[in-house]
Amino acid sequence: MSYDENNIFAKILRGEIPNDTVYEDDAVLAFNDIAPQAPVHVLVIPKGPYVSLDDFTRDAPAEEVGRFFKTVGEIARSLGLDGGGFRTIANTGADGGQEVPHFHVHICGGRRLGRMIAKA
Ligand code: 5GP
């Protein structure tokens, strides 16, 4: 799947749509989800044009992948979630329920989140 430059997170990265930034560096942006599913619900995205985790882990250099996931952990700790715990989710493609085709990791926490996947 080729990268869609008009996806909503690409627009956020270009500053065309506002966001509630939690963290930013040269390679990563993190911001609050517009429709939070938990008391804390942050989205972490690489600034590069990667469609999904599949795409990111295939095409990005290992150093970039490693740095990205280290940053996810740092953000979770900065949000105070490391004591009580938290959940990270990276939905990929249609079966994964991915809605926005720019790779992102959800960090959710602040309450007991229950089962990982509801039974169909
Ligand atoms: P996905 O289903 O692709 O894993 O998750 C996409 C997430 O992006 C959803 O949790 C949704 O609420 C969030 N989202 C969609 N549009 C926007 C937006 O314009 N701003 C923010 N902050 N979050 C968005």
Give me the pLDDT at residue 102, please.
Answer: 98
pTM: 0.97
Instruction: Tell which one of 7, 99, 104, 106 to mutate to probe ligand 1, the residue whose CB is within 8 A of the most ligand atoms.
Output: 99
Q: In sequence order, what are the beta bridge partners of 109?
A: 40, 86
Fold classification of 8-109 is HIT family, subunit A (3.30.428)
Tell the residue nearest (CA) to atom 15 of ligand 1: 34
Q: Is the pLDDT of residue 120 over 70?
A: no
Q: Given its phi and psi angles, is residue 15 left (phi above 0), alpha (psi -120 to 50 degrees) or beta?
A: left
Give me the pLDDT at residue 117, please.
Answer: 80
Expressed in angstroms and rounded, the spacing between residue 22 Cα and the centre of ligand 1 is 15
| Domain residue ranges of the chain, discontinuous segments joined by + | 8-109
- What is the tens place of the pLDDT at every residue in 28-62? 999 999 999 999 999 999 999 999 999 999 999 99
Q: From the CA of 98, give the closest atom in ligand 1.
A: 3
- Distance, CA of 5 to CA of 114 (rounded, Å): 35
Q: In sequence order, what are the beta bridge partners of 45?
A: 29
